[in-house]
A and B are shown apart, each in its own frame.
Chain A
Amino acid sequence: MTAIVDYGAGNLTSVRYAFAACGVEAAVTRDPEVIRAADRVVFPGVGAAKSAMENLRVLGLVEAVRAAAEAKPFLGICLGMQILFSHSEEDGGVETLGVLPGQVRRFPAAVGFKVPEMGWNQVRFVGLEGEREGEGPERQEGHEGREASCPSCLSSPSSRLASRATPQTEYYFVHSYYAEIGPYTAGITDYAGVEFTAFARKGRLWACQFHPEKSGRVGLDLIKEWLSC
């Protein structure tokens, strides 16, 4: 069962429809038990980091989401990606889930620099140093069977993605904050001279700053690849 976490951070309709287009009827849930029971977890979100963290706490979802991100196929999208990092500059600073190391910063306020970044931008897929540091599915418990049946997760974490998506492949972005480039950065985007993490991977944790559910055919390709990892 694929669970989409509903924590009051924006609209999940598009995410649900995109998974349906990939043949998966995902369960939209705010129940920590459903998240614990899920095989795969999708963590979307738009809005502000601070209120998102408050919502997660009020709903009792912090530990369930963190555990899922560390142990099973997990897909963070937009704000759901940003709050996987340790800290965000949003609203004067907020501690976030800390599943991935690094900071989330605001785009600079400058003349001619439009914020939010809104539209289609290229993602340059790069190597995965985090994988080489020994982070990966082998540390997890209770999923041995799935790992054995999914060698591509272990052997070629992003090679298929990188081969399908050319440097000219654009995805749809809408955001005012961005994650710095770090050890798990697997895709880089340049917005008006600022390079940031468009895509991060740590084992079976995938995190997109862009919206795969709204990125046309290439977005569905990415979702299908995540579903098969």
Chain B
Amino acid sequence: MLTKRVIPCLDVRNGRVTKGVKFKNNVDLGDPVEMAVKYSEGGADELVFYDITASAEGRPIDIGMVAAVAKAVRIPFAVGGGIRTVEDMERVILAGAEKISVNSLAVKDPAIIAAGARAFGAQCVVLGMDPVKSPRCPSGYEITTRGFREFTGMDAVEWAKRAADLGAGEIVVNSVDADGTRAGFELTVTRLVAEAVGVPVVASGGAGTPEHLVTVFREAKADAAIVAGMIHTGDYTIAEIKSVMAQRGVPTRLSF
């Protein structure tokens, strides 16, 4: 049986992993490569890196970091942030990443999804989306961009369907409302998207306890879940999270 993936998220700023709440109050957590090795040996099923300063500063992604991670870990990883063109995607993939995550760029230019899927295969193109609760949209969730700073008027579920049709091989649903709270995933929007698309859906934002992952897998039909603060602070290890998942009957990879 396909297991549910636990994916540590590493936000990188100036070559260091940081963590803040809603993109604020960032604190230094460590070296990206060292943390990638620690998590991959500790049972992470995949990793995701967001080069959070790349977009804000308008500079390209740190390819040296991507290559260093690719050399150091033997599990898949995705990279997001700072990607503007298919050429940018290609550099990240050639450096050794399995997947590229596009978010604000895809909202502005949806054709980038199709172009990326054509060039590298749908499995390489991840759509990241930052929905927020909003009465303005039929599903009740509106897409925001640029780190939650801009509202787009786009319905989250419609956008997910369109992105999957364009060739996104996976969709990361990062709830603005839940992000950084460690109070649990936003189950409704995750389930709405998971039921609307035929590609895997990754829940993101709000993980604080292993039970939160159990709930999002069981109730919101997520295929994978992103964890950040709860493991970065040392409150939980990935092995502890997975042990609870397995005890609660969630298909979990334990042989690492």
Contacts and interface: CB of A to CB of B under 8 A. Distances in A.
Interface of A: 10-11, 13-14, 17-18, 20-21, 46-48, 109, 113-122, 166, 168-170, 172-176, 190-192, 211, 213-220
B186 interface: no
A120 B199 contact: no
A216 B75 contact: yes
Contact of A166 (B4, B93, B224, B255): B255
Task: Find the residue from B74, B124, B223 having the highest chain A CB count within 10 A.
Answer: B74
Nearest to B199: A114
B27 interface: no
A109 B198 contact: yes
Nearest to A15: B96
Nearest to B2: A121
B170 interface: yes
A120 B70 contact: no
A119 B224 contact: yes
Contact of B76 (A47, A172, A176): A172
A47 B121 contact: yes
Nearest to A46: B121
B76 A115 contact: no
Contacts of A213: 74
B253 A11 contact: no
B120 interface: yes
Task: Find the residue from B75, B76, B224 having the highest chain A CB count within 10 A.
Answer: B76
B45 A118 contact: no
Task: Find the residue from A10, A11, A168, A213 having the highest chain B CB count within 10 A.
Answer: A11
**Chain A interface helix/strand/loop/mixed:** mixed
Interface in B73-123: 74-76, 93-96, 98, 120-123
B169 A10 contact: no
Contacts of B253: 120, 170
Given A13-B93, A46-B123, 7 more contacts: A118-B169, A118-B223, A121-B1, A169-B255, A176-B123, A215-B74, A216-B40
A14 B98 contact: yes
Given A47-B121, A120-B5, A214-B76, A17 B256 contact: no
A113 B221 CA distance: 11
Contacts of B96: 11, 13-14, 17
Given A10-B121, A166-B255, A214 B98 contact: yes
Contacts of B45: 119-120
A190 B1 CA distance: 6
Contact of B200 (A46, A109, A119, A169): A119
Given A14-B96, A120-B45, A219 B74 contact: yes
19 contacts: A10-B121, A11-B96, A13-B70, A13-B96, A14-B96, A17-B70, A17-B71, A46-B120, A114-B223, A116-B169, A118-B169, A119-B224, A121-B2, A122-B1, A175-B123, A213-B74, A215-B75, A218-B255, A220-B74
Contacts of A109: 198
B128 to A, nearest CB: 15
Interface in B184-222: 198-200
B2 A119 contact: yes
Interface string B116-151: 000011111000000000000000000000000000
B75 A172 contact: yes
B3 A121 contact: yes
Interface string B7-46: 0000000000000000000000000000000001000011
Contact of A120 (B3, B121, B124): B3
Contacts of B122: 116, 176
A115 to B, nearest CB: 6
Nearest to A212: B74
A115 B95 contact: no
Contacts of A11: 93-94, 96, 120
A221 to B, nearest CB: 11
Given A119-B5, A191-B2, A214 B74 contact: yes
